[in-house]
Amino acid sequence: MTDAPAPALDVRSDICWSDETSVTVLGRDLCTDLIGKVDLGAFAFLLLTERMPADAEAALFNAALVSLVEHGITPNALATRLTYLGAPESLQSAVAAGLLGLGSRFVGTIEGSAQYLAAGASSLGADADDDAIAAEAARIVDGFRSRREHVPGVGHPIHKPVDPRAEALLDLATSLGFPSVPGRLLRAVSAAASEASGRSLPPNITGAIGASVVLLGVDWRIARGLGVIARTVGLVGHLREELAEPMANTIWRTTDDSATRHLRP
Amino acid sequence: MTDAPAPALDVRSDICWSDETSVTVLGRDLCTDLIGKVDLGAFAFLLLTERMPADAEAALFNAALVSLVEHGITPNALATRLTYLGAPESLQSAVAAGLLGLGSRFVGTIEGSAQYLAAGASSLGADADDDAIAAEAARIVDGFRSRREHVPGVGHPIHKPVDPRAEALLDLATSLGFPSVPGRLLRAVSAAASEASGRSLPPNITGAIGASVVLLGVDWRIARGLGVIARTVGLVGHLREELAEPMANTIWRTTDDSATRHLRP
Amino acid sequence: MTDAPAPALDVRSDICWSDETSVTVLGRDLCTDLIGKVDLGAFAFLLLTERMPADAEAALFNAALVSLVEHGITPNALATRLTYLGAPESLQSAVAAGLLGLGSRFVGTIEGSAQYLAAGASSLGADADDDAIAAEAARIVDGFRSRREHVPGVGHPIHKPVDPRAEALLDLATSLGFPSVPGRLLRAVSAAASEASGRSLPPNITGAIGASVVLLGVDWRIARGLGVIARTVGLVGHLREELAEPMANTIWRTTDDSATRHLRP
Amino acid sequence: MTDAPAPALDVRSDICWSDETSVTVLGRDLCTDLIGKVDLGAFAFLLLTERMPADAEAALFNAALVSLVEHGITPNALATRLTYLGAPESLQSAVAAGLLGLGSRFVGTIEGSAQYLAAGASSLGADADDDAIAAEAARIVDGFRSRREHVPGVGHPIHKPVDPRAEALLDLATSLGFPSVPGRLLRAVSAAASEASGRSLPPNITGAIGASVVLLGVDWRIARGLGVIARTVGLVGHLREELAEPMANTIWRTTDDSATRHLRP
């Protein structure tokens, strides 16, 4: 059947097209309207929501990204540094290796918290009182507990009694005049989860980003993308330091020494 | 030898540390001095250079990032969309798959152009005249040609006679008052490469980012990181659209139909 | 606190250690006992179970791997080819990009089917009769349906009325004399799921691999690893062909043409 | 231009196609001719060379793969374990993270050694004497040294005075009756590089795999793929152990403690 005609490929994208002299992104001329006119955070907002942010939106969106860029020596920073040791010609691979750990245990919880905050805020409406919010929070916490799952967006192993990043981000949203329900719902979920578990589970930064995402109209299904963008910046920063003050080789050699010392003669 | 003591691990990082109530990044309090105070681009500048940018620096750095975020349906956008089809629970994996193609052929050329522009600008000094710059450009082009390598930072398959993004970024650097040598050297390399090859090889966006990186004091060895950061933003945008207007399944099915039609009965 | 002593790193691994003249893997000398003595599949079995396979086990394990190596133009083969286009200097990155799509929708279902088949076979015991197996299958299917999840390991969009790879693998296990319960339980789950959904949901290859994994004593939590190993082989094969008969550039250009044709003048 | 017809997609693949009842791989029926009939290594050989291996070829090919599967606590094993800590739901991501470090410094040197051994063996012919081989080796070593590059395939930080894996693999090729030139050329390169550098640079395992690849007719451009396949097996093995005897969390916490202790009050 070699002579069969090639099939037609019928797909559509509205993000960007270019010709010899211009690049158009969501209807805007990249070279005249965007380069030099918007910062990276505002441009990211455009791509994630299909509209330019108001000033308060750009401020909250940038702050949400900034809050998650850097948290020191994390497992993903280590994966990036160890990968760079073997493939220094491919910086992009080292960063990609670090991103791959942003799963269910750490940054991925943005997704889960954004999902329940979006659904909760939608069903509560903008004028919900504290009792309605507490009842919704109880329903959310019960749902996770009945599935024996952690409640995403609350609790942190280091930051106690509060996650200062979450407080900073939630306070900023308030001071910028955003609606209160998503943040209040997150605090109510924190209270309900703490009571149900008997442990202190304050709102954490992924929960606060989840609330921000709801306020900004970003689809919860891509909310984890904020963490991915932020951590990409942080991981490049770790490679900058790895070049000046390397640690990957030492970690490798010391781990090997430690792990196999019981096997050696 | 099971009873041998565990070895000491001796490494150092100056980027970030945190305790219960604070996170400190390069000497600044994340929650009080950075969240809500700096945009993502400025924070990235801090992490890549260990200092806060002046306003002009933040503007040029953000512009360099914005210029590379989006270029439509590229191979890496396709890799991201196709990966998401199989693993929608792992948005970070889809983005990482897209980043892995930022190698020697596309975005990776930032690194090569930043390297020769940094070395050239350093040896030329700030007051170089056009003749000195042209001589340096000839040396650079000869070097690549003698190794039978493409000259990074010049030439584009679509954008002719100029890459409008490169022009926008180089013009911005000029209007912000940055030194002229890196940009003039890039233009001289473009001229020398065009003459040597007999083809039009204008400064392209990766070359203009290379010049920007030199102006901003970013180490050329992590210059590719600007492309990685920028494209991460773009790839999350493509996943936003893939959810609303999917193309991955159609590409898969149509490619399979086309590729194997000569094998089918 | 700069003068604080470096902390001890205390970890343990029993897989492998080496000195100047030897490499020891799980107690065996790599150079004298393994290289040239065992095939790759048997060595993989050793690493996944900590024991050498009997002949029948090596045969079934190799067959399970072989069955999933190749399925033509799949989304992950396309991601690999498109990534290679941009980073031909990093073959490992192109393969990694392809692996990243082996998530919940395709190969990842090995994990889910191995999990319920392991639990079911364990509770049923080796002498279970058909009624007990049918009852267990009904429980399994009810569990997935109550959570509104697909039942992993059954159903295929192309292969109807049966997945011939699954039949070949299940038949091989029988002919090699392995216990029957995992395979019978998979068929019973297929029957129950088909009846409950009103659609034909035959055992598929990931279900048959799940049953094989149970028979071989591989922990279900790493069962997805069989798919990852198998597909790695297949993806390298696709890069071999991409070098001889490239398609990535054509897919890129045609997709771009198609996707943005409504935007062009 | 919304009404423009969808463009035709014209690509070709000869690897595999399938219909409802069969899967055909390079002209063979997967279910009747391959599953249960060939081991994974032999199937990999088929996909990388488009022909089934003779027995000696299958033996050497499997041995080349087996030799690189496992080398203990390596940087890529650590990247895999650290990634799994954050994303245990995506085993494929953890393996992919480990593969990304198989670049220019470690496994990637298969590619370089296969390239010069293939070119050298081809120009020398099958009957080359030791003088001709030594002259070719000198040319090869001079080439790398003139570019200030390491000679791939020789030298090892741990294994001295010889890499026992390389010796085992080269000996196997001899005992199986393969032609001698690629192995002799590798040894001559080792001698020339050792003399030129004044350091002992024995043939290492990536060099021996390079020689094997030449003997087996595998294109040097995909030779790194052997390392990628082998290490994938090893990395899944490390995840098996990580589940039973975890080290990632300890590495993270200890590294963080050590790295930032000079910053803490």
Q: Which tens digits make up the pLDDT trace of C154-187?
A: 999 888 889 999 999 999 999 999 999 999 999 9
**Residue B82 pLDDT greater than 70, yes or no:** yes
- CB contact under 8 Å between A8 and D9, yes or no, is yes
Q: What pLDDT score does D157 carry?
A: 85
Question: Which of B12, B96, B260 has the CB atom closest to D259's CB atom?
Answer: B12
Contact (Cβ atoms closer than 8 angstroms) between residue B166 and residue A35: no
Q: Sorting pLDDT into bands at 50, 70 and 90, what band is C264?
A: confident
Q: What pLDDT score does B138 carry?
A: 98
For residues A29 and A36, give the distance between their C-alpha atoms in angstroms, rounded to a whole number: 12
Tens-digit pLDDT profile for residues D111-136: 999 999 999 999 999 999 999 999 99
Average pLDDT of the segment spanning D37-48: 98
- CB contact under 8 Å between B264 and D19, yes or no, is yes
Q: Sorting pLDDT into bands at 50, 70 and 90, what band is D264?
A: confident
Q: What's the mean per-residue pLDDT of chain D? A: 96
Tens-digit pLDDT profile for residues D15-29: 999 998 999 999 999
Which of A232, A249, A250 to substitute to test the interface with B, most B CBs within 10 Å?
A: A232
Please check whether residue D250 touches C, CB under 8 A: yes
Which of D2, D3, D82, D254 to substitute to test the interface with A, most A CBs within 10 Å?
A: D82
Please check whether residue C178 touches D, CB under 8 A: no
Which of D260, D261, D264 to substitute to test the interface with B, most B CBs within 10 Å?
A: D260
Give me the CATH topology for the region B109-222.
Cytochrome p450-Terp; domain 2 (1.10.230)
Q: Sorting pLDDT into bands at 50, 70 and 90, what band is A248?
A: very high
Compute φ and ψ for D133, nearest 5 degrees: -65, -40
Please check whether residue B238 touches A, CB under 8 A: yes
Identify the DSSP state of A8: B
Instruction: Report the half-sphere exposure of D41 (CA within 13 A, side-chain side).
Output: 30
Measure D119 CA to nearest chain C CA, in Å. 18
**Residue B184 pLDDT greater than 80, yes or no:** yes
Measure D190 CA to nearest chain A CA, in Å. 22
* H-run or E-run covering D29: strand D28-29
Contact (Cβ atoms closer than 8 angstroms) between residue C68 and residue C108: no
- Residues on chain C touching B85 (C-beta within 8 angstroms): 75, 101, 105
- Residues on chain C touching B72 (C-beta within 8 angstroms): 256, 259-260
Question: Which of C11, C24, C96 has the CB atom closest to A259's CB atom?
Answer: C11
Instruction: Give the number of other CB atoms < 10 A from CB of residue D161.
Output: 9
| β-bridge pairing A23-25 and A28-29 | antiparallel
Please check whether residue C21 touches A, CB under 8 A: no
Q: What's the mean per-residue pLDDT of chain B? A: 96
Average pLDDT of the segment spanning B237-265: 96
- Residues on chain B touching D14 (C-beta within 8 angstroms): 263
Domain ranges of chain C: 22-66, 109-222
**Residue D1 pLDDT greater than 70, yes or no:** no
**Residue C242 pLDDT greater than 80, yes or no:** yes
Contact (Cβ atoms closer than 8 angstroms) between residue B214 and residue B57: no
Lowest mean pLDDT among A41-55, A186-200, B40-54, B155-169: B155-169
Lowest mean pLDDT among B12-16, D129-133, D158-162: D158-162
Please check whether residue A127 touches D, CB under 8 A: no
* Strands of the A16-18 sheet, one edge to the other: A16-18, A23-25, A28-29
- Residues on chain B touching D89 (C-beta within 8 angstroms): 89-90
- Per the rule left: phi > 0, alpha: psi between -120 and 50, beta: everything else, C18 is beta
Measure B39 CA to nearest chain C CA, in Å. 31
Q: What pLDDT score does D153 carry?
A: 96
Of the two residues A3 and B201, the one the predictor is more confident about is: B201
Please check whether residue B212 touches A, CB under 8 A: no
Of the two residues B250 and C159, the one the predictor is more confident about is: B250
Q: What pLDDT score does A182 carry?
A: 98
Chains touching C (at least 3 CB pairs under 8 A) are A, B, D
DSSP H helical ranges for A100-223: 109-124, 130-146, 164-175, 181-197, 205-216
- CB contact under 8 Å between C10 and B9, yes or no, is no
Please check whether residue C247 touches D, CB under 8 A: yes
Q: What pLDDT score does D265 carry?
A: 76
Q: What pLDDT score does A3 carry?
A: 77
- Give the number of beta-carbon pairs within 8 Å between A and B: 326
Lowest mean pLDDT among A60-69, A191-200, C192-201, D256-265: D256-265
Q: What pLDDT score does C2 carry?
A: 59
**Residue A1 pLDDT greater than 60, yes or no:** no
- Residues on chain A touching C19 (C-beta within 8 angstroms): 264
- Per the rule left: phi > 0, alpha: psi between -120 and 50, beta: everything else, B178 is beta
- Residues on chain C touching B107 (C-beta within 8 angstroms): 86
Q: What pLDDT score does D158 carry?
A: 85
Q: What pLDDT score does D2 carry?
A: 59
**Residue B147 pLDDT greater than 90, yes or no:** no
**Residue A264 pLDDT greater than 90, yes or no:** no
Measure D247 CA to nearest chain B CA, in Å. 13
Q: Tokens at residue D94, please?
A: 């953890």
Q: What pLDDT score does B157 carry?
A: 85
Q: Sorting pLDDT into bands at 50, 70 and 90, what band is B239?
A: very high
Please check whether residue C262 touches A, CB under 8 A: yes
- CB contact under 8 Å between B237 and A169, yes or no, is no
Average pLDDT of the segment spanning A233-250: 98
Q: What pLDDT score does A90 carry?
A: 97
Q: Sorting pLDDT into bands at 50, 70 and 90, what band is C1?
A: low
Average pLDDT of the segment spanning B121-144: 97
